[in-house]
Amino acid sequence: MKPELIDRSTHLSRSFNIDEHCYPHFLKVWHYHPEIELISIVNSSGTKFIGDGIKKFQPDDLILIGENVPHLWLNDPVYFQGSSELEAKALVIHFDRNFAGADFFQMPEMRALNDLLNRARHGIEFHGEIKAEIKRRLREMLQMDDFERVMALINVLKLLSATEEYEKLCSPGFINAFQKGENKRMDNVYEYIVNNFKDEISLNEIAGLTNMNKSSFCRYFRKIHNKTLTLYINEFRVGYACKLLLEEQLNISEICFESGFKNISNFNRQFKEITGLSPRNYKKKYATII
């Protein structure tokens, strides 16, 4: 199923909104929106779908989701029982990337915050002590006036930009686009991969885009991404395959070739190594849920 666009424009009476949501269960809709979302789970459990990243969620989880990244918070089955008295509660901020002005995050002083928002396009889950600190600050923001909230949000983003205790949840291939800005030297490489991942990838051409020889480029790429170029491309292709599997428009054989794999056996092997499931089991487990 394709994700549903949720229009929050009628809810944005300010430059950004912060709310404490409390429902019997979270909205059971695979959706996206142009606003960036910061969510601190207060009391709830289930499975979170952030792009093609699928993990359990629980109280105290802290997630930053970039603009237009499809996502779903699916509560455990007990939340949907008629006799359930459980609550799904979360502190949530929705804000436009340009809430402080079109060029605000382009200032040199805001470089770290801009990098954070770029990383959020893959979905970020934070770990460690920062989760409790951010939850405390979000609660305080509920009682602030408009000016104080703007300053508080910038400070929250500053804290998040400084921590190294996080993981990205969504693979680049899921949305079939690389985001520029994290490493300008590699922009041409990312653009080449996104335009050619369905075909044979030429290491010579990729290395040439950075004016390096093949050996130097491979070392440089591994230093940046902590993985080989081959694994990176396979993860991109598998991420794109996950997107197609969830949309249920093509059969598995068609998805194999549409994602850049040349034969089914290699597709199945790479898919299972990266996701832990075969394509068929992935589709069976998740497509019907979304």
Q: What three-state secondary structure class fits 279?
A: helix
Class of domain 184-287 (CATH, top level):
mainly alpha
pLDDT at residue 1 in the model: 63
**Residue ranges of the chain that CATH labels 2.60.120.280:** 4-168
Q: Which of 44-53, 171-180, 200-209, 236-245 has the lowest mean pLDDT?
A: 171-180
Q: Which fold is adopted by the domain 4-168?
A: Jelly Rolls (2.60.120)
Orientation angle between helical segments 229-247 and 264-275, nearest 10 degrees: 90
Name the band, by pLDDT with cuts 50, 70 and 90, for residue 35: very high
> Rounded mean pLDDT of 151-164?
97
Predicted confidence band of residue 238 (pLDDT cuts 50, 70, 90): very high
Please tell me the pTM assigned to this model.
0.74
In the chain, which segments carry CATH 1.10.10.60? 184-287
Q: How many Cα neighbours within 13 Å face the side chain of 84? A: 15
Following DSSP, what letter does each residue of 144-191 receive, concatenated? S-HHHHHHHHHHHHHHHHH---EEE-S-TTTTT-PPPSS-GGGHHHHH
The mean pLDDT of the chain is 89
Sheet hosting strand 62-65, strand order edge to edge? 16-23, 88-95, 36-43, 62-65, 124-126, 166-168
Mean predicted confidence (pLDDT) in 267-284: 94
Give the Cα separation of 286 and 70 in Å (integer). 14
pLDDT of residue 61: 97
What confidence tier does 180 reach under pLDDT thresholds 50, 70, 90?
A: very low
Give residue-wise pLDDT tens across range 63-106. 999 999 989 998 988 999 888 899 999 999 999 999 999 899 99
